[in-house]
Amino acid sequence: MADAKIGAYVCKGCGLGDRLDTQALTAIATREGKAVFAKEHDVLCSAAGVEMIRKDIEAGEIDRVVLAACSRRSKTEAFNFDTVAVSRCNLREGVIWVQADTADARAATQEMADDYVRMSCAEVKQMIPPRGNEQAERNRHLLVVGGGMSGLTAAVEASRAGYPATIVEKSGALGGWAARLWRRVPARQPYADPQDTGVAELIAEVEADPNITVYLNATTTRTTGAPGRFAADITTESGKTVTENFGAIVQASGFTPYDATRLPEFGVGKSPDVMDQLGLETLAREANGSPIKRPSDGREVRSVLFIQCAGQRSNKPGHLPYCSGHCCNTSIKQAMYFKDRNPNVDATVLYTDLRTPGNGEDFYRSGQRKGVIFTKGVASVVQPANGALKVKFQDLILNQEVSIDVDLVVLATGMVANSGVDAEAAAKQEAWKDEGAGTDGAQNAKPEAPRSQEVSILNLDYRQGPDVPQLMHGFQDSHFICFPYETRRTGIYTTGPVRRPMDIAQALEDATGAALKAIQALENAAQGRAAHPRSGDLSFPSFHRDGCTQCKRCTVECPFGAIDEDERRYPQFNEARCRRCGTCMGACPVRVIYFENYSIDTVGQQIKAVEMPDETQEKPRILVLACENDAYPALDMAAMQRIHYSAYARVIPVRCLGSVNSIWVTDALNGGYDGVMLMGCQKGDNYQCHFVKGSELAHYRMSKVYDTLEQLQLEKDRVETHEVAITDIQRAPQLIEAMAETVKRVGLSPFKF
């Protein structure tokens, strides 16, 4: 690193030349930043400007580049130099657009720009151009766990895209629950009548496809490795195990119907004429198109009542708090089983809210046209009486207690995800107990106690647990808004009702998406590149083994289970599983984890490079560490709107607040900064953090920094951690302004040299 050859390029375009003394900036780059040379250019992003830089790189004169121009978020196409390390010195959005264009402001604006040039030079000096993992492998084979609608679809779609797939199905047949349906909710215009499930055709397609291998009565008993090099032990019922290699995994392990016997008030178990929706499918299949008969006495059903949300969308203990998303459409479909045969059968759907996703609204209308009666009401009791079922319910429109007799009752009971062992359940349980003590009294509805399933699906040989972590209610989603499809195990994609409750139509689409994401993951892995959100990033974490104390903090805190332990108990980084968030780097107490282009030093040296005015000058300095995914873009956008903020702020983008090592904060305070701000994404249950836990961890770690503040006898207000969303365009600059005010109030730091 000693012989870093830095070339600095200062742009005069976009008004930079008018507002700043660019010549002074080049001088700083060469004199203080130790750049080999510094060049000015009228429009750096122009073809000529880019060509100039390219030539310098090709001539071998430089191997590090400082682009003192616009934000790293603009002109990414033009400034794409992948053989060298690049630091984007943000003078446009970061300086001239957020400062007033007045004579008064001129000096402070220039100081800001000077500092950013110093910081960029310091950063790039510590950087090594990332090369990617050279041992990366390409394995094009996809493992699909589960042979239901989702699994079959994922395999077929992968195969059509030219990637072979292997299906591991635990039962003796393909098709899953869908194969047990009589008909499915229509997926085609005019969405009026139940249609064939299509399972048989799908199974036939899979069986005829030489690219797809099927294991029945089989489970994945051990899964090791990482994207591009997974190995799975597939064990069949007979006990025989084969080990195969895969590039990526699609987990389509589906759902288990909610156990209706938990609803004794609805007469489950007391009469065979009360059943769940799957029970009715069985009756319909038996009837095979002729009128459906009552199980109790074989008489044709003349009246049937469907009770929606049976044990769902309910806060009662043991019930499911969520909506399963398909039951309303399913009940409409099942009511049609009766109405289509005989319009004189009374079919009533008892609902509180009818939710018909997809094109269900048309289907609902069709049900109404066919004479299905929809009654808004809540059932309380179902009791067998005189060869009928007496149902008591509260009619919510007429506001009266009603009692009716029907032949058959069908309960819409919903789905429970087959997500396997919840490794975080124990931890969650603890947190849940603590929370019960009541940190915020406003929230009196206690969160649902996490469930834990005993049987693992994937049996991952990962240190952080044998299955994909769960987000809510046992579903294996990861980040609903920004990254649907992604799980927290890179290269493993869950799909279908194990990911979130869904119907067949959604599962088919979901499975297609999952297959494509899995393909993307294995292709990325083959090139040694990161998955989202730093897609294409070639850097990966390394560590200095000598310094490592084997504290395991990195292993535990990595949100993606990327780190195992080797046989000597040192962390073992699985680069293909890693998302390059740097959370491990932020966690390491001895600071031995680093990326080639992002390390304790690349940021630490930036912090130190800022020129610290002494006390007499009355110029405070505020360090802002802003998450590159939300907070930094928000500041950029504020700049586009010319929203000004304090010229005393120095903003450094970080991969994630999780990567912020408290040493940066401590060093900054010791170095004389008057305030330190961390800006990251929303944490907690509805987290928006792109790396799941980064923001949460940062908040936690910063709570420890307050001890340091106390030791240094500094005011607590000098360090702040904020949740900032990409939409906080007004708020983010305001926060900086507020910090400037705070500094004014508490006075300058006593640690100025």
**Interacting residues toward ligand SF4 by CB under 6 A:** 541, 543, 548-554, 558, 560, 562-563, 571, 573, 578-584, 587-588, 590, 592-593
Contact between residue 141 and residue 244 where contact means Cβ atoms under 8 Å apart: yes
543 binds other proteins (CB under 8 A): no
- Of ligand SF4, other proteins, none, which one sits near residue 552, judging by CB under 5 to 8 A according to partner kind? ligand SF4
Q: Which residues contact 208 (CB under 8 A, 6 or more apart)?
A: none
Nearest to 673 by CA among 732, 722, 625, 601: 625
Distance CA 561, CA 564 (A): 8
Which secondary-structure segment (H or E) carries 584?
A: helix 583-587
Closest approach of Cβ 363 to other proteins, in Å? Answer: 13
Q: How far apart are CA 524 and CA 84, in angstroms?
A: 21
- Taking CB under 8 A as the binding criterion, the range among 360-368, 438-446, 567-575, 618-626 that sits at the site for other proteins is 360-368
Contact with other proteins (CB under 8 A): which of 365, 552, 644, 731?
Answer: 365
State yes or no: cis peptide before 484, omega within 30 of 0.
Answer: no
Residues that contact other proteins, how many (by CB under 8 A): 15
Is the CB of 290 or the CB of 399 nearer to other proteins? 399
Q: Is 340 in the site for other proteins (CB under 8 A)?
A: no
Tokens of 560: 């993606």
3-class secondary-structure state, position 330: helix
Rounded CA-CA distance 436/453 in Å is: 23
Distance CA 331, CA 348 (A): 10
Tell me which of other proteins, ligand SF4, none is bound by residue 738, counting a contact when its beta carbon lies within the kind-specific cut-off of 5 to 8 angstroms: none
Stretch that binds other proteins, among 368-376, 432-440, 519-527, 573-581 (CB under 8 A): 368-376
Partner in contact with 398, chosen from ligand SF4, other proteins, none, beta carbon below 5 to 8 Å by kind = other proteins
Q: Which of 38, 532, 468 is nearest to 223 (CA)?
A: 468
Least distance (Å) between residue 188 CB and other proteins: 22
Pair 634, 728: CB distance under 8 Å: yes
x-or-dash pattern for other proteins, window 420-459, by CB under 8 A? ----------------------------------------
CA distances from 595 to 62, 117, 226, 448, 592 (A): 21, 22, 19, 39, 10
For residue 688, give the nearest of 471, 536, 506, 520 by alpha carbon: 471
* Nearest CB to ligand SF4, comparing residues 344 and 549: 549
Nearer Cβ to ligand SF4 (400/550): 550
How far, in Å, CA of 127 to CA of 18, rounded?
31
Q: Which is nearer to other proteins, 385 or 398 (CB)?
A: 398
Closest among 157, 166, 195, 236 to 513, alpha carbons compared: 157
Kindly state whether residue 76 participates in binding other proteins, applying the rule CB under 8 A. Answer: no
Which lies closer to ligand SF4 via its Cβ, residue 491 or residue 571?
571
Q: Which is nearer to ligand SF4, 230 or 573 (CB)?
A: 573
CB of 374 or CB of 485, closer to other proteins: 374
Q: How far is the CB of 130 from ligand SF4 (least distance, A)?
A: 13
Q: Is 344 exposed, middle or buried (0-12, 13-18, 19+ CB in 10 A)?
A: exposed
Residue 500 or 517: which CB sits closer to ligand SF4? 517
We find the least distance from the C-beta atom of residue 363 to ligand SF4, in angstroms, to be 17
Binding residue (CB under 8 A) for other proteins from 278, 354, 548, 612 = 354
Q: Is 395 in the site for other proteins (CB under 8 A)?
A: yes
CB of 338 to other proteins, least distance (A): 14
For 687-720, the three-class secondary structure string (H helix, E strand, C coil) is CCCCCCCHHHHHHHHHHHHHHHHHHCCCCHHHEE
Q: Which is nearer to other proteins, 275 or 345 (CB)?
A: 345
Nearer to other proteins among residue 295 and residue 371 (C-beta) = 371
| Residue 255, strand partner residues | 417
For the CB of residue 434, give the shortest distance to ligand SF4 in the complex, in Å.
25
Under the binding rule (CB under 8 A), the answer on residue 363 touching other proteins is no
Please report whether residue 402 would count as binding other proteins according to CB under 8 A.
Answer: yes
Separation of alpha carbons 740 and 753, rounded Å: 20
Q: Does 394 bind other proteins (CB under 8 A)?
A: no
Q: What secondary structure letter does DSSP report for 193?
A: S
> Is residue 306 involved in binding other proteins (CB under 8 A)?
no
Identity of the residue, 490 or 506, whose beta carbon is nearer to ligand SF4 in the bound complex: 490
Among 107, 204, 242, 398, contact with other proteins (rule: CB under 8 A) = 398
String marking each residue 373-392 x if it binds other proteins according to CB under 8 A = xxxx----------------
Instruction: Output the smallest distance, CB 364 to other proteins, in A.
Output: 8
Given 9, 163, 266, 364, the residue binding other proteins (CB under 8 A): 364
Task: Please write down the long-range contacts of 109-115, taking CB distance under 8 Å and 24 or more positions apart.
Answer: 109/19, 109/20, 109/647, 110/20, 110/21, 110/24, 111/611, 111/619, 111/647, 112/647, 112/650, 113/20, 113/25, 113/68, 114/24, 114/25, 114/28, 114/611, 115/609, 115/610, 115/611, 115/650
For the record, the structure tokens of 487 come out as 């799980």
Q: Which stretches of the chain bind other proteins, using CB under 8 A? A: 346, 354, 364-365, 368-369, 371, 373-376, 395, 397-398, 402
